[in-house]
Structure 1
């Protein structure tokens, strides 16, 4: 190949024979970068307009697969724009899928599939799968169904046919049929060595709720990409694996893979994938890293998601921010973020992620006093009812426990304890330290607020241990605050001594807490600190939530007991 490229560089003009030889040499197992260079040289030696465009489009495709998006675009520009070329449209759409508005990628790929259908069935399928992926990223279920149903019924790949039919059945509400087809797709993918097929198997597993299978598929796909390529698929393989690990509660692993994927996405020119990876990192940080880290990744995800219409990334980032709010005791803010995502309406979240955020929405709404306050219409109860239906359709191991926890939060006092015990029994069967600790935290807090402080301490201790086990530091701080409010002396992280309760507060919250504990009214605090009374009210509610107290008297007693006054 090197000799042919040298000859092409020395050629005085077009040379059909040399061009044919270069094209023939640009074949597997040569790396995609070398194949792109050979095809580009072949195109420059070609006089026939159609063949020249074919070769430039093929060169652009290999440059894309090699992870060189800039070179791919430059080669596409040399392919020409008329007459319309299906191969060029396909590559252009796949580039836009990773670095451009998802709606543009969708239209380019649908156009490409129509142009390619009469003579190139393989690349037609590739374009349609890319169009479906663009629609999924946009959160456009009808467009996703449209792209998937354009795939011929007699798809050459059995796993692809099962995937197409299973996903379409799920979106049309034929759950039993969809589950059976996706399970067969997952089984077929497990026997396949193509990383793209493995990734489809991982998506099937996530839709089924089989989180362990999704992690296995993601790990196999990553290994295959690292061995055989293409480089352009590495960020997606890492994204899929990180998301599956996140769903499995393996937050540290998810963070590590997402950070690696972020580097790969930047190196290969894929900012859309980077936005999705930032959303995954924000979700991991909402468990491990606290508000500032979570906000940094969420802001990066939203900055990319907004201009390019990436509804899935925006949904995950907003959910992450809300979960960080919950960890910090800002239940009102969390409920405000999550409400539009889980309820019907124009601002609703991604169709595949809405139900995953419902448990956080219910918790935030109840703690903020927003549940059941709208007369006959209760969005919180409606969300729980929809979640209950979803829980019967998924094999997600956490769904039964989360449903029981949601029902406990909404239950009358006589029934709430039984619901919490039901949720904990489900956790015992499925594992998952983080979700179990969240249930124990809510149960203990409920017992404490019912003045059953002795009973509250056991679940609160268990919650603290669970959060510490999975390195959920902000949540552990919340559990410590509840334990202190239940009258138990709690050592700080690492056992270095008892923590100052004001460590849970922002500087402004701490100043307000000290003033109130000294006996000042909200109006007096506002005058003293040169803020509005509304600001004082807002911060004081967050102080009560963070420290687990219900009154000014309890606040003063807590700060005095810990020497914070």
Structure 2
């Protein structure tokens, strides 16, 4: 009998990444035996996922309880009476009879015995069914963040980010395989100074363990599995292998059943899928080189698709082959899914001996991977060009990748460099990308400079009209620029190209044709969904959401932005995700969800700050300020917006700052910052005279009404509402009606105030603007009108409508000055009303008032300590 015994303090717990739940379960088992109770826990996992590491952790943390790790069934000390942890690693390797006896004994263990048993089992092993009645925990693969933490520890922080991302992708969440990759690479390879080998070395023991489940399968089944694994080389990831192709290549249909019985593959819909991606790789790794090449050759002869045939021939090739590489590259240039094009071009590059031509093909393969929404693969392909001379295509793809996930300034420089190195046609697209980077940065001069360098696009009237129009607008030639941009809308019926449709939509927003912008965005989205490229999906959803926000359709904008956010995360585009978070913050600021608004604004700022995304940052601040205004905090709103709308180094994005001015003027007037409001209105007046935005005249009239002397205010508001009658935007109209009603009520013209306040309430309700609708209801109550569908005042029934509003604000924690600003009354008026509230309700303090309303269900209950600090 052999026992491995651990005394307290002998072992040190290994560092485990991404295993919080599993570690907690193991430590709970150890805790039970320390408390004098027992238990059994079985861990199941695929090879390399860390079963043994968890056993070592259990043995290391079990002190002061001793632990044993028996090496044979006969060594199990189940009769021992003292506290003990028994660890049985790889129980599936024990003889079936001994294993069955062990499991039978474990099921009969009394709970009161201080004996804990931890056993591990390979997930694919047939004995999994034998664990019935025992507590079982399955280990899954590590997620990317846990794998990144493990990689950082293994490489001592020296791994290049591009190299690290590729290693994590190839390891498929398997910590032992990731460890093997790191151990097999040189320091220069890890640091990205020299290209990675393809395929990656290391991990042979993990692949051997995966392939071990196939031991004992019939020869015909092994041959069929090898064909299926080889066929995966020309198929998209996760697509499986075409069973008809395998049969044409000589596979035996009867050989499939044993493979399915061994749970190696699953057949469905005429295709064969390996149950784990590493199992497919293990099958290829295990087969001798001559057998692999023969399988590829048989598949090439059986393929009916030219590109698939050429990929299989490339897999069977033994050395560089210029003719085959040229054929692969030519076949990949035909219309194909971008992922297939990328794989084929990468194969062509591997067969190419000429350094310049190989770099060309790697750059093309990387661009196809980028368009397929796979930036990790794109960057890994670019890394293979290390050491090659400066190459325009490499700089262009690198710049476009940085535009989606990196500092916008870096993207601009890379794309400008690419434009110098590239022929005229691709240089044009590089310059347009540089202009997009400058736009994201909020650098109007850099945008104009890049677009000016774009050659005249005689063969693309829409692009030329857009280029010339935007240059004219940003050079101050507004009328000329608008006329040119309207040509983009004239070209709309003749284009279905997604990028062109997105440019037309942007042009429509500049000239104030909001519905045309929404239509172009919807067509671009449909085209991307039907034909790709996948990388444009989040951007198309972002553009459509912008148009819908401007049209006042906040609910649909939110739905499209949420879908875009998921697509941005899926395709590795955090910069687009930051912009979409800003869109969602704007939608939430209208809908009245303050928590969602703040959360999305924080996410937008977190992404925008490090990467210099001025547009996303400006939109996020505007959203939070608008939420402050809806909640009756004009001082906060004005403080947020003042730097963005005023001239100076902290100003907002050049295309957004004027859109936020009406919000700033409203907040500034209510916060007593009248001089700043007048200055902003003067600039907004000049912008309105030049812009084609159809909402601007009504918003300008509202700003003037806010600043008008009392004898002119009513006429100014009526003028603003007349402008609203000629323009879209129900939300903005309702805001003007609310402000007009507030002004009338403050002037004690309560009967007149009720009309615009009712209209504002209806408008906000139709827009789904809940917080704004609540403000309208409060104003109506203060004007002496009961609002249909609202609960009665409860304990506040004895108070006047104005006293009720003051009582609610004070009970929520507002100071007297804050209440005065929210209700547009003087501080003394609030003091006077609050004394009468206390007297009428028989309360002596703000704390008692808060408790009174909390007990009535009209306020959330608050802790006395919090209330006492109000």
Q: Same fold (TM over 0.5)?
A: yes
| Aligned partner (choices 447, 457, 466) of residue 163 of structure 1 | 466
Matches within 5 A, 1:118-267: 120-153=423-456, 155-267=458-570
Q: Who is 1:553 aligned against? A: 832
Gaps spanning 5+ residues in structure 1: where? Answer: 373-378, 503-508, 516-535
Tell me the distance in 1 between the aligned counterparts of 2:706 and 2:491. 42
1:285 aligns with 2:588: yes
**Cα-to-partner distance string for 1:25-56 (whole Å, 9 max, x where unaligned):** 11332100000000000000000000000000
Aligned twin of 2:361: 55
Counterpart CA distance in 2 for 1:500 and 1:403 is 42
Alpha-carbon RMSD across the aligned residues, in angstroms, is: 2.1
Gaps of 5+ in 2: 1-306, 797-805, 842-848, 855-870
Match of 1:449 among 739, 746, 753: 746
CA distance in 2: counterparts of 1:184 and 1:193, whole angstroms: 16
Confirm whether residue 101 of structure 1 aligns to residue 380 of structure 2.
Answer: no
Match of 1:297 among 587, 595, 600: 600
Higher-RCO chain (CA-CA 8 Å, sequence separation at least 6): 1
Aligned to 2:760: 463
The yes-or-no answer on 1:408 pairing with 2:705 is yes
Contact 2:505 2:520 in 1 (8 A): yes
Q: Deviations over 1:541-563 (max 9, x none)?
A: 33344456642233466786998
1:501–1:540 distance in 2 versus 1, CA, 3 Å: farther
Q: CA deviation at 1:485?
A: 1.9
Instruction: Give 1:125 deviation, angstroms.
Output: 1.1
Residue in structure 2 matched with residue 319 of structure 1 by the alignment = 622
The residue number in structure 2 matching 1:306 is 609
Shift of 1:346: 0.5
- In the alignment, which residue of structure 2 is the partner of 1:351? 654
How far has the Cα of 1:478 moved from its partner?
1.1
- Of 407-416 and 391-400, more deviation after overlay is shown by 391-400
**Distance (Å, rounded) in 2 between the aligned partners of 1:556 and 1:137:** 53
Structure having the larger proportion of residues in helix: 1
Q: What do the CA deviations read for 1:357-386 (whole angstroms, capped 9, x no partner)? A: 0000000000111113xxxxxx32121111
Q: Residue in 2 aligned with 1:524?
A: none
Matched, 1:69 2:375: yes
* Residue 669 of structure 2 corresponds to residue 366 of structure 1: yes
Could you tell me whether the CA contact under 8 Å between 1:490 and 1:498 is conserved in 2? Answer: no
**Conserved? CA contact 1:286–1:323, under 8 Å:** yes
Cα displacement string for residues 295-327 of structure 1 (whole angstroms, at most 9, x for unaligned residues) = 000000000000000000000000000000000
Q: Does residue 570 of structure 2 align to residue 270 of structure 1?
A: no
Task: Give, in whole Å, the separation in 1 of the partners of 2:335 and 2:807.
Answer: 64
- 2:715 corresponds, among 398, 407, 418, to 418
User: 3-state SS of the aligned residue for 1:356?
Assistant: helix
The answer as to 2:313 corresponding to 1:16 is no
> Offset at 1:154?
5.1
- How many angstroms apart in 1 are the aligned matches of 2:551 and 2:795? 32
**Separation of aligned partners in 2, 1:564 and 1:412:** 39
Q: How far 1:283 moved relative to its partner?
A: 0.3
The number of aligned residues is 526
1:497 aligned residue (780, 791, 795): 791
CA displacement at 1:453 relative to structure 2: 1.5
CA distance 1:557–1:465, shift in 2 (3 Å): farther
Asked whether the 8 Å contact 1:544–1:555 carries over to 2, the reply is no
Deviates more, 1:428-437 or 1:85-94: 428-437
Which of 335, 341, 356 aligns to 2:644? It is: 341
1:360 and 1:154 map into 2 onto residues whose CA distance is 39
Give the equivalent residue in structure 1 for 2:335. Answer: 29
Greater fraction of residues in strand: 2
Deviations 1:231-280 (A, max 9, x none): 00011100000001001101011001101110110110000000000000
Distance 2:468 2:402 in 1: 26
Distance in 2 between the 1:414 and 1:287 partners?
Answer: 32
Q: What TM-score do you get using the length of structure 1 for normalisation?
A: 0.89
Moved more, 328-337 or 450-459: 450-459
Alignment correspondent of 2:724: 427
Within 2, Cα distance between the matches of 1:81 and 1:485? 74
**How far off its partner does 1:156 sit?**
3.1
Partner of residue 240, structure 2: none
- Write out per-residue CA displacement over residues 209-239 of structure 1, whole angstroms, 9 at most, x where no aligned residue: 1111111111111111111110000111000
Between the aligned partners of 1:45 and 1:298, the Cα distance in structure 2 is: 49
**What TM-score, normalized to structure 2?**
0.59
| 1:513 Cα offset (Å) | 1.8
- Equivalent position of 1:543 in the other structure: 819
Question: What pairs with 1:489-528 in structure 2 (closer than 5 Å)?
Answer: 489-491=786-788, 495=789, 497-498=791-792, 513-514=810-811
> What CA deviation, in whole Å up to 9, does each residue of 1:472-505 have, x standing for no partner?
00101111121222222234xxx25236799xxx
Q: Which has the larger radius of gyration?
A: 2
Contact 1:101 1:309 in 2 (8 A): yes
Q: Give the conservation status (yes or no) of the 8 Å contact 1:22–1:39.
A: yes
